[in-house]
Structure 1
């Protein structure tokens, strides 16, 4: 292993020397070209620029040294070429970051030298040598060879970029098609889910009730689409004596759990009513029936009996918001019947409240989600009277939903909402 060193005072001479060393040691033309550019960039501060005109006083030339060593194992022709550019004390040495950013990054910056270590082959014995003067044609051929290598590399990179771009476009097309399929599938699932929920909701509702002399309609809206069943339920049916029984239940909580509790309450009330139990006793008896099966159920209950022939109305209450009776002649009042609901201490209705409904009168039974969507429930009850007046003479099937829309222009506290309207037919 022998280290050879030469001095270089011009950029052209340094470039020719590096190019010949790289050629003699079998470096690829593209690597050779980047090495020449990198060495020139490092040596530029130390090499004097040629003057435009002859100076009156000669300027000292900058100085660089170029040293190179080839090392290889005896049994292996491939080896390592170490090439170093030394700068004199007047030149600025590049930083490690600048050396790493060269066209061919340097391997080390040590002392006053910038070093490259490159896989190479030994120079052939008949090599012309760095010191030998080569013809301009030889240098031009080497430069042309380097340019061709750069062009070929550029073309290869361009082709690779085009291939990757085509693959990316194809992948994006496939991903887009997958998104479309997933979106269609999601739409199908949402449709099926919605259909199932509607069927479930319909299964929870009693059959529509047709009674001579009465008009009935109901509106229900859950607190959110993720829990469409809720704990607000109703039941209506005709008793053997011809009176209509209506139950409105609001079970504590939301979702399927509260729905189960509300269903248990409505079924127990229906059973007791059909067995002929007195209206005032049904709330307390329902609590007694459900207590052994579900100690966690808590629900408010409002029971109403209406005689379509006479218009006689009887109401029992277990902690539920009072029914609103709006008269056809303009009067309105809440039917305050005190009591405590299912699961409450001492459950039951304290007393019954009786009214006489006339043709055109509107009875509104509801859950607290209708009046307590804002901060002030008292203000909600006042607005409910105004909304009932506004829609008093509308078709019965439109009244509950229209009232709910008027009450829910602003919703601060979302809750399940049930509104049930009964009107004596004129």
Structure 2
């Protein structure tokens, strides 16, 4: 162990460099050690207090290497607290000293053990100092060059990786688009299979439009069915089953199938809702659905309406007068299900009947405002071809959607039958047709 007392920075730096040279410390480690020692000793020198540099060489137990312990001791007062960002972190700081423990080669120091001097003096001590500084600069430059080269390599690899990721992202987007199209096609085919087949009824025009809450999942609980009874009367059922997705679709289909079966068996309109409830509830106790049923005789224009908790149908007369056909009742799955009465109306040539689900009028969470807006939209588009009216009305009603829900809009317009006394040139050649949009 050797101790040396220093009063200024210059001899301290030279001593540290000679010490590092003697024990074969790498130039980069030597430079860091010189910076640490001189920085920490600076405040003591300014206060006129000396510092002691103490060195000791130790052998690691069980290891073929040695450790050089370099301690900077502050005489007469506590030393400064070593900063966290020292170029060479201290291993054992105390209130009055700082120690660095550095691994060194196991060989003996250059000038042998013992001796007064930290390193053998050269012919020109100044030259030795300058030479050490040059070595440290070279080591710093080499380290900087290595870091720059590594940074360039990493940037190049990152650029290649980004290019690969971008290409993969483009491929995934293309594949995703293909899958979306295929998925949409399958769902469209499924939707087509669920909806009733088009009808051609002389004296009537029919059209329907379905807008799902989620365009990527067109199945839902809003459903409709239409068919002709044996006497030629048109029967329409509009159902809104509670929930979304495939389960609600199944519930709505069960309701429409039960209603169709009962209607074709000849059950009166006022009893079908209650009977549908009796049939389906044992199979699906959680089922809840609102139901509206309409029967229209194309020859006479006689309209019958039964309702179970469903939004009322809208009747727009040919002269522009509009009104809602309210009928009280409770839907399937509700307490005391059934329509309280069957409402009778007459549909004259040119009149427009609009049936729908609550997704059309409650998109802004205000049913009263929705009904008012629906009447205005129906009046605004009444003169368009019938197969365009449902989609146009839905587009108007969904300009601002605060409450997204599945939506069905169905329109029926009566045209004059050939030979009818109310027949007009405009209605004489209008074929009965139905088109689902």
Give the TM-score normalised by structure 2. 0.85
Aligned counterpart, 2:302: 312
SS of residue in 2 equivalent to 1:148: helix
**Structure 1 stretch displaced more, 357-366 or 133-142:** 133-142
Query: Matched residues in 2 for 1:326 and 1:75: separation?
Result: 101
2:280 to 273, 285, 290: 290
Write the mapping of 1:72-151 to structure 2, written as runs, cut at 5 A: 72=59, 78-89=65-76, 93-96=79-82, 98=83, 100-121=84-105, 122-125=108-111, 129-130=117-118, 133-134=121-122, 135=124, 136-151=126-141
Alignment of 1:164-313 (within 5 A): 164-225=154-215, 227-313=217-303
Which residue number corresponds to residue 16 of structure 1?
Answer: 14
Per-residue CA deviation, residues 204-242 of structure 1 (Å, 9 max, x unaligned), is 111122222211111222233465322111111222322
Contact 2:187 2:217 in 1 (8 A): no
Unaligned ranges ≥5, structure 1: 49-59
Q: Per the alignment, do residues 80 and 235 of structure 1 end up closer, same or farther by CA in structure 2, a change over 3 Å counting? A: same
- In structure 2, do the counterparts of structure 1 residues 400 and 139 end up closer, same or farther at CA, with 3 Å as the change threshold? same
Q: Deviations over 1:110-132 (max 9, x none)?
A: 35332222122432346983376
Distance 2:118 2:289 in 1: 102
Give the Cα–Cα distance (whole angstroms) in 1 for the partners of residues 64 and 231 of structure 2.
115
Query: Which residue in the other structure is 2:422 paired with?
Result: none
273-282 or 205-214: bigger deviation:
273-282
Secondary structure at the aligned position of 1:124 is classed as coil
Whole-angstrom distance in 1 between the partners of 2:95 and 2:184: 77
What number of residue pairs does the alignment pair up?
Answer: 410
**Helix, strand or coil at the partner of 1:398:** helix
1:125 and 1:305 map into 2 onto residues whose CA distance is 116
| Alpha-carbon distance, 1:343 to partner | 2.4
**Aligned partners of 1:292 and 1:131: how far apart in 2?**
102
- Structure 2: runs of 5+ lacking an equivalent: 416-426, 428-437
2:369 counterpart (373, 379, 382):
379
Equivalent pair of 1:373/1:411 in contact (CA under 8 Å): yes
| CA pair 165-413 structure 1, distance change in 2 beyond 3 A | closer
Equivalences for residues 23-102 of structure 1 within 5 A: 23-47=21-45, 62-72=49-59, 78-89=65-76, 93-96=79-82, 98=83, 100-102=84-86
Q: SS state of the match for residue 384, structure 1? A: helix
**Residues of 2 paired with 1:411 and 1:151: CA distance?**
65
Deviation string 1:42-68 (CA, Å, 9 cap, x unpaired) is 2223336xxxxxxxxxxx965332221
Q: Deviations over 1:244-276 (max 9, x none)?
A: 221111222222222111101111121222223
Q: Give deviations 1:367-402, integer Å, cap 9, x for gaps.
A: 222223344423332332222222221111121122
Q: Which residue of the partner structure matches residue 52 of structure 1?
A: none
8 Å CA contact 2:184–2:216 kept in 1: the answer is: no
Whether the aligned pair in 1 keeps the contact of 2:21 and 2:119 (CA below 8 Å) is no
Q: What secondary structure does 2:175 align onto?
A: helix
Alignment partners' CA distance in 2, 1:76 and 1:254: 72
SS of equivalent residue, structure 2 residue 396? helix
Query: What do you get for the CA RMSD once the two structures are aligned?
Result: 2.6
Distance in structure 2 (CA, Å) of the matches to 1:244 and 1:131: 114
Aligned mates of 2:369, 2:28 — CA distance in 1: 85
| Greater Cα shift, 198-207 or 225-234 | 225-234
Displacement of 1:154 in angstroms is 1.9
Q: CA deviation at 1:77?
A: 7.2
Alignment of 1:264-413 (within 5 A): 264-413=254-403
